[in-house]
Amino acid sequence: MRRRAPLQFPRMRSAFHKIAASQESGLVVVLVLVTVMLTLMAGSHADRTTGQAVNNFWNSYTLIQTATDASFFAIMAIGATVVIISGGIDLSVGSIYALSGVTLGLALRGSGVTSPGAATALGLAVCIGVGLACGILNGLLVVGLRVHPFIVTLGTMWILRGIAFVATRAQSILVAPGLTSVVKSSLGLGGGLYPVPMLAMLIFTALGVIYLTRTVMGRRVFAFGGNAEASRFAGLPLKRIQIGVFAVSGLTAGLAAFLGASFYGSASSGDAQGYELYVIASAVVGGASLIGGKGSALGATLGALLIVLIRQSIRTLHLDQNYEWIVIGCAIIVAVVVDQWSTRLTARRLA
């Protein structure tokens, strides 16, 4: 045993260096710095019941609300990251979100289901079905028409939202209260705290990590995005891979719509407008490369948290909210530049 002990130190050091050099570790450091800055600059207010001073940011309500806001972006960003790793892009996630949400509302209204269990089962089945169908449609169009995913998903973005608009006649559809009581459950926390979306985000992040790193399909996605020609010569089913990544993206958009519509109690054709920016920004800031072959589910979640923290900082510090778009745009450019710089540096080291 004494002879084997010294061998553990090099392994521990190599593991530590590997973690420290990862994209996720840098995002964690940035998240910690932003959180500390907000805590110090947010100020405090007196609690109505106890009279004690409470920090305007570092309190359970604001933290869980921030995580809730990030959960919808993060879940969709995980699916979008899978598409980006394959070398494609999906601009229709916001429209899939809207169509899944209004279909959920119409299905619950038409069925007359009110019990929490039945409403949850029906709503989840509807959103998963609509999301998968839209994702598979995107994949079939990309493979069948041999058109770039940017063009295809740009078209389906308008088509799917138009279908949602026609189906609802631009009206908001209320969701059954039984379903809202499930997704908006406090789980014993009380005090207006609703952690279900946050827990769902953590669960889907873990599933995304397992899918991309521990499954054959996940490895094939990386191989396809890294070198499509090599993947073809290796005998990989390229068409199936492309359809599969868009199916995953549609599935995550449908699941996010289920959580969003259930949490807020209504759905409309105007939901998730502009979410494409936040979702793609979350994936890119999380380390996904737009040329394909690089990205992670954990990075997408951390990227979504960072972007929501940026939005929260603008609100907490009482800054002009018009700066939100400027800051997020700058974050995307900086993330892409840093990614390209690190790629070139790695190539020079290998050379």
Determine, yes or no, domain membership for 29: no
Is the Cβ–Cβ distance between 87 and 225 less than 8 Å?
Answer: yes
Q: Would residue 37 count as lying in a domain?
A: no
In-domain check, residue 25 = no
Residue 212 lies in a domain: yes
Tens digit of pLDDT for each residue in 300-349?
Answer: 999 999 989 888 888 777 777 777 778 778 877 877 777 677 767 766 77
Q: CATH no. for residue 246? A: 1.10.3470
| Helix 196-214 with 297-316: angle, nearest 10 deg | 150
Inform me whether the pLDDT recorded for 110 exceeds 50. yes
Q: What is the pLDDT of residues 248-305, one digit of tens each?
A: 999 999 999 999 999 999 999 999 998 888 899 899 888 898 888 899 999 999 999 9
The predicted structure's pLDDT at residue 334: 77
Tally of CB atoms within 10 A around 159: 15
Q: Which residues contact 124 (CB under 8 A, 6 or more apart)?
A: 258
Which pLDDT does position 76 carry in this prediction?
97
Question: Is the residue at 39 inside a domain?
Answer: no
How sure is the predictor about 158, in pLDDT bands with cuts at 50, 70 and 90?
very high
- Under the banding of pLDDT at 50, 70 and 90, the label for residue 149 is very high
User: How are the residues of the chain apportioned to helix, strand and coil, as percentages rounded to the nearest 5?
Assistant: 75, 5, 25
Neighbours of 224 (CB within 10 A): 26
Q: Quote the pLDDT of residue 139.
A: 96
| Whether the predicted pLDDT of 202 surpasses 90 | yes
Orientation angle between helical segments 297-316 and 323-350, nearest 10 degrees: 150
Work out the average pLDDT over 224-250. 93
> For residues 181 and 346, what is the distance between their CA atoms, to the nearest angstrom?
50
Contact criterion met (CB below 8 Å) for 254 and 132: yes
Looking at the domain assignment, is residue 34 inside a domain?
no
Range of the domain at 75: 67-350
Residue type for 117, please?
A: G
Residue 163 forms part of a structural domain: yes
- β-strands 44-46, 266-267: how paired? unpaired
- Four-residue CA torsion sign, 165, 167, 169, 170: negative
Q: Report the alpha-carbon distance of residue 243 to residue 123 in Å, rounded.
A: 25
- Please tell me the total count of domains within the chain: 1
Token pair 């960003």 is found at 77
In a domain, 77, yes or no: yes
Measuring CA to CA, how many Å separate 98 from each of 34, 160, 243? 31, 8, 21
